[in-house]
Amino acid sequence: MTHQLNAHRERKLRDLLQTRCPELVELERLLVNFNELLSFRVLTQVEYQAHQFPIYSLTLGNPAPEQPTLLLTAGVHGIERIGVQVVLAQLKVWLERLKWERSLQNCLQQMSITLIPIVNPVGLFLNRRSNGKGVDLMRNAPIESREASFLVSGQKWTPKLPWYRGDVSHMEPENQVLREEIERLTARAPMVISVDCHSGFGVHDRLWFPYAYRRRPMQDIAPMVALKLLWESSYPNHQYIFEPQSNHYLTHGDLWDYFYKQFGRKQCRFLPLTLELGSWAWVRKRPLQLLRFDGLFNPLVPHRQQRAMRRHLPLMDFFRHAVHSYQQWLPGPAELANLKQMANSLWYR
């Protein structure tokens, strides 16, 4: 009888996933169809209403120690589905190209790519920003800001209000396994560039980097400036704005501030970036999206969704090349002072 109840529960969950969480279904389909090209681990199972939701970590390329690594993450905010879709679209492109493209095959013999496409599967399932406990995972780290604005920067009162931080002394399970994965990668790789995909701010796509909790520059600002210059010289007609998040607003508990302070100032060069897709442009083109909460964060018209999934492919490929060839552009001691001065002129005047 117990076995029949469990089987019924699993079938019911599968039916719900097909409609509520097709991105997770698509991810698991890729794991089955391309199992010879990638490896994966289940970092944890997040429980919600007696169901278990997996958080997958996928690896392409050479997983041996001492290999530089590109880390792609998405779905920290479940409502921002387009970020998950962008990462999955890029994964599918790489998997298909790996079947025949010798240059990509050779590249991935000398580096690895780790992808965690859905950090917050329960939030994705529920189509909301927070996880199953009502905690905003991007406000859940033990980082405090002295200048952050009221409410939107994170609050500790109640999960009934948005931007609830939860217990920052004991981060949520989703963040704990993300922390463990970043600790594992930075302990073995000489260079890690991470890109976390979000949406919901402005009309322009932005590349944000730490800090979000203060307006002063991060310690390793010179390599970040070098990466910006490399991107702009390689793709001079791009439409991204490359800047610190603190240019716009300050927050408590930013995950990437915390991970950078924990792991980015040691032997490994860890450069965390957030790709913030400019969702207001979709709303401006179709104001009716304001009638739906998810319309504030995602393109609801199919051709705009497809355009968003393909327009960022050159950016992701650039980061792959930058990780693979990091020794060619990483600044030396003689360049640090000039790059720090450039950072102050660009962002911290």
Per-residue model confidence (pLDDT) at position 176: 98
Q: In what order do the strands lie in the sheet with 241-244?
A: 39-48, 51-61, 112-116, 69-74, 191-199, 269-277, 206-209, 241-244
pTM: 0.95
Instruction: Give the range of the structural domain holding residue 54, as residue numbers without chain letter.
Output: 2-347
Predicted pLDDT of residue 5: 46
Tokens matching residue 220: 């390793």
DSSP result, 115-170: EE--S-HHHHHHTSSS-TTS--GGG-SS---SSPPTTTT-BSS-TTSSSB---TTS
Q: Can you tell me the distance from the alpha carbon of 266 to that of 242, in angstroms, rounded to the nearest whole number?
A: 24
Rounded Cα distance, 8 and 253, in Å: 40
Q: CATH code at 306? A: 3.40.630.10
CA nearest neighbour of 46 among 114, 115, 119: 119
Can you give the pLDDT at residue 215? 94
For the beta carbon of residue 43, count every other beta carbon within 10 angstroms: 19
Q: What is the C-alpha to C-alpha distance for residues 154 and 162, in angstroms, rounded to an integer?
A: 8
- Give the residue carrying structure tokens 């290999």: 67
Is the alpha carbon torsion for 223, 227, 229, 234 positive or negative?
Answer: positive
pLDDT of residue 348: 94
Type of residue found at 248: H
Q: Two tokens at 91?
A: 């994964």
Residue 154 backbone dihedrals phi, psi, to 5 degrees: 120, 135
pLDDT reported for residue 264? 85
Give how many domains the chain has, as a whole number: 1
DSSP one-letter code for 241: E
Q: What is the pLDDT along the chain (349 residues), one digit of tens a residue?
A: 555 545 555 666 677 777 889 999 999 999 999 999 999 999 999 999 988 999 999 999 998 889 999 999 999 999 999 999 999 999 999 999 999 999 999 999 999 999 999 999 999 999 999 999 999 999 999 999 998 888 899 999 999 999 999 999 999 999 999 999 999 999 999 999 999 999 999 999 999 999 999 999 998 999 999 999 999 999 999 999 999 999 999 999 999 999 999 998 667 799 999 999 999 999 999 999 989 999 999 999 999 999 999 999 999 999 999 999 999 999 999 999 999 999 999 999 7
CB within 8 A of 120, min separation 6: which ones? 75, 76, 77, 78, 131, 137, 174
Residue (of 319, 59, 60, 66) closest to 191 by Cα position:
66
Alpha carbon distance 249, 129 (integer Å) = 18
DSSP state of 253: S
One-letter identity of residue 53: F
The DSSP result for 292-324, as a single string, is: SGGGGTS--SHHHHHHHHHHTHHHHHHHHHHHH
* Residue 166 one-letter amino acid: G
d(CA 41, CA 335): 40
pLDDT the model gives residue 275: 98
Tell me if residue 182 falls in helix, strand or coil. Answer: helix
